[in-house]
Amino acid sequence: MMAAAPSWEAVTVGTALATSMAAYALFAGADFGGGIWDLAAGSSARGRRARDAIDASVTPVWEGNQVWIVLGLVLLWTGFPSAFAAITIALLVPLAASALGLVLRGVGFAFGHEAIHPAGKRLTGALFATSSLVAPFFLGTAVGAVVTGRIPLSSHGLDNAAWTTPTALVTGGLFVAACAFIGAVYLVGDARRRGHDDLVPYFGRRAILGGLVTGVLAAVNLALLHGSAPYVFRRLTGVALPLMIVSVLAGGAAVALILLRRQWLLRIFGALSVAAVVAAWGLAQYPYLFPTSLGVAEAAAPDTSQLAEIVVIGMAAVLVVPSFAYLYWLQQHGRLKHDSASVQLRRAARAEDRPPAPAAAGRFPRLLTGVIVVVAAIQMVLERRRRHYS
């Protein structure tokens, strides 16, 4: 049975959804990859240079990169509300796990820059790195559950069988490997830009490793899809085949460029290989949101809602894309750095400091007196306790 053809509005919103997923895979994926290589960088002393390079590359941009998934989320929930409800109910466990991964990653990051003791730094670094592995894996299993059409339409609760099929688990692994690949490619470029000549081959080797593992897992996944998602398999090897070929060729070109030690178009090829796979996935699912139980047309909100979403997409194109490009331009030109207030500024601030005017006792409204006495009593008790403990 073929689903009804969806309206152009629904197709536009669906395409924007796939595009924001691709952007998430490219940009946030590179950050996750950085975290994965941080995890694999070895002992504190040995991995220090690599970790510092990863930190400098990821720090200014990771938060903006995370918003791509929020954009995808709101497009899904306004454009295709019933699909959103079905996914969130059935896939509570992997979604919650990936969300927890994202949170812990942010926590590790925030504390990492403030931690003083080496042990604290190691702990927060480990938190950041481990959650970089957890978040893409569980997102991958959720996508695997959608691709294999295992999401029940009238959900009555958690469905842990949906995301633990071999296909879904391999998809999770594939996501991790792809992140590692794209992250390493990105770091090769950054290392060359900063003139860290020893780190160029270091990340280059890792990019090649990541690329090979990604290729192998993608092949395994395709073979599994033959059995678990025949519709998607047929489309991937049919109408979406050119995109698959583009992805393989671009990935191969990126690996070849690293071997040849060329920087030229390296990131473009790396990005193309990931983006083409996401596009192929979207095309292979069409016209279904859940192959083959829920069509885009059935799940779509009324066309006027879709039009409002198209306006939102237009706003994203006008407001977000230039801002995002500006952020990356500044970062790539070394204008964004994590640093604390300079010693000079602090000295100047100190020098400007004049003694305060002698404080005169202010008159206060009588109504407040009672309140303030109580407050003062509490403050005095706190003060005494503070003195006692310090």
Residues 67-96 contacting other proteins, CB under 8 A: 67, 70-71, 73-75, 77-79, 81-82, 84-85, 87-89, 92-93, 95-96
d(CA 158, CA 353): 61
Residue recorded with tokens 């070849």: 256
Which CB sits closer to other proteins, 158 or 265? 158
d(CA 384, CA 370): 21
| Nearest distance in Å: CB 349, other proteins | 4
| Nearest distance in Å: CB 237, other proteins | 34
Which CB sits closer to other proteins, 132 or 221? 132
Please, how many CA atoms are within 13 Å of residue 165, restricted to the half-sphere of its CB? Answer: 23
Our finding on whether 297 is near other proteins (CB under 8 A) is no
Which CB sits closer to other proteins, 101 or 210? 101
Our finding on whether 45 is near other proteins (CB under 8 A) is no
Nearest to 91 by CA among 145, 23, 46: 145
Nearest to 14 by CA among 388, 332, 295: 295
Our finding on whether 116 is near other proteins (CB under 8 A) is yes
Amino acid identity at 202: Y
Our finding on whether 343 is near other proteins (CB under 8 A) is yes
In this structure, the number of other CB atoms found within 10 A of the CB of residue 116 comes to 7
Q: Which CA distances in Å does 304 have to 16, 186, 240, 255, 301?
A: 16, 40, 30, 46, 8
Residues 301-340 that bind other proteins (CB under 8 A): 301-302, 304-305, 307-309, 311-312, 315-316, 319-320, 323-324, 326-327, 330, 334-340
Residues 227-246 that bind other proteins (CB under 8 A): none
Our finding on whether 152 is near other proteins (CB under 8 A) is no
Q: Give the residue, chosen from 15, 155, 164, 292, that forms a contact with other proteins under the rule CB under 8 A.
A: 155
| Nearest distance in Å: CB 19, other proteins | 14
> What tokens does 221 get?
């996944």
- Three-class secondary structure assignment of 323-363: HHHHHHHHHHCCCCCCCCCCHHHHHHHHHHCCCCCCCCCCC
Q: Give the residue, chosen from 45, 371, 388, 389, that forms a contact with other proteins under the rule CB under 8 A.
A: 371
Which of the ranges 36-44, 195-203, 250-258, 362-370 carries the binding residues for other proteins, by CB under 8 A? Answer: 362-370
